[in-house]
């Protein structure tokens, strides 16, 4: 947990400790790097308002240097901050003051989706091919037609899996939020749109004119290619 508010960190340490989690605290970016170097970490809870490097800078660092999931936990509730955080690769965004039970539920949900400490996929579902790409479900790894890796965040991977499971089916934003997070979309919930944009930039030849994930005006999105089990 990267946060310079000692009271919030102490509260989270006690609560998450009661539910079987080990919480390591860091008050700034330098301390965060030391923690990540010293021991395995499954997930980072990251505040935005930090001394020195702010949370956006650290999100960029984590996405470039670390593969685990990131949840931004901050007092900044403006939609622009939420969109920027998700654009930079955060897997979820929680505003303060938060309910500890909700935060715990979100942590567990993100860890489940990230595959942390879970068993590999069964052999019959080991990989899927689509539009020249290969998605290895057991390794959670995407490669392009030349075999080069395409780095996906947890949110991008989950979104791609949802679309691959429902090819040529138009899915609304509400459908996608429900399938990804098990809840209804809120009036300002644009995380799906942000992740669609990020995913397109990684798999489309021309993200401005997508051929794999197409928009259906006024309705939602559709995977316009037919995946095949590999």
| Six-digit token string for 210 | 């997508």
* Gap between the Cα atoms of 174 and 78, Å rounded: 21
pLDDT for 120 equals 37
| Six-digit token string for 107 | 């942590």
Please give the distance of CA 26 from its chain centroid, rounded to a whole number. 21
pTM greater than the 0.85 cutoff: no
pLDDT for 87 equals 87
pLDDT for 192 equals 83
Q: DSSP code of 125?
A: G
pLDDT for 78 equals 85
Which residue in the block uniquely carries the two structure tokens 């499954």?
Answer: 42
Summarised one tens digit per residue, pLDDT across range 106-125 is: 999 888 877 654 433 444 45
Summarised one tens digit per residue, pLDDT across range 125-140 is: 578 999 999 999 878 8
Q: Is the model's pLDDT at 72 over the cut of 90?
A: yes
Q: Is the model's pLDDT at 220 over the cut of 60?
A: yes
The domains of the chain, with CATH numbers, are: 6-114 (3.40.50.2300), 123-229 (1.10.10.10)
- Are the CB atoms for 229 and 127 separated by under 8 Å? yes
pLDDT for 191 equals 76
Please give the distance of CA 76 from its chain centroid, rounded to a whole number. 19
Average pLDDT over residues 201-211: 96
């Amino acid at each position: 947990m990267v946060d310079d508010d000692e009271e919030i960190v102490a509260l989270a340490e006690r609560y998450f400790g009661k539910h079987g989690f080990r919480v390591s605290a860091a008050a700034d970016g330098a301390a965060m790097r030391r923690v990540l170097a010293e021991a395995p970490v499954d997930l980072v809870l990251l505040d935005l308002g930090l001394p020195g490097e702010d949370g956006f800078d650290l999100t960029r660092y984590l996405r470039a240097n670390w593969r685990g999931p990131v949840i931004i936990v901050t007092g900044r509730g403006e939609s622009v901050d939420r969109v920027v955080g998700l654009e930079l690769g955060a897997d979820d965004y929680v505003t303060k003051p938060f309910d500890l039970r909700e935060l715990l539920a979100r942590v567990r949900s993100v860890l489940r989706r990230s595959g942390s400490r879970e068993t590999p996929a069964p052999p019959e579902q080991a990989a899927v091919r689509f539009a020249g790409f290969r998605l290895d479900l057991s390794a959670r790894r995407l490669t392009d037609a030349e075999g080069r890796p395409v780095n996906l965040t947890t949110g991008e991977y989950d979104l791609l899996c949802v679309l691959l499971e429902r090819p040529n089916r138009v899915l609304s934003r509400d459908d996608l939020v429900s399938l990804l997070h098990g809840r209804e979309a809120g009036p300002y919930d644009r995380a799906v749109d942000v992740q669609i944009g990020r995913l397109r930039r990684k798999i489309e030849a021309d993200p401005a004119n997508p051929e794999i994930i197409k928009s259906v005006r006024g309705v939602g999105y559709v995977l316009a290619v037919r995946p095949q089990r590999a």
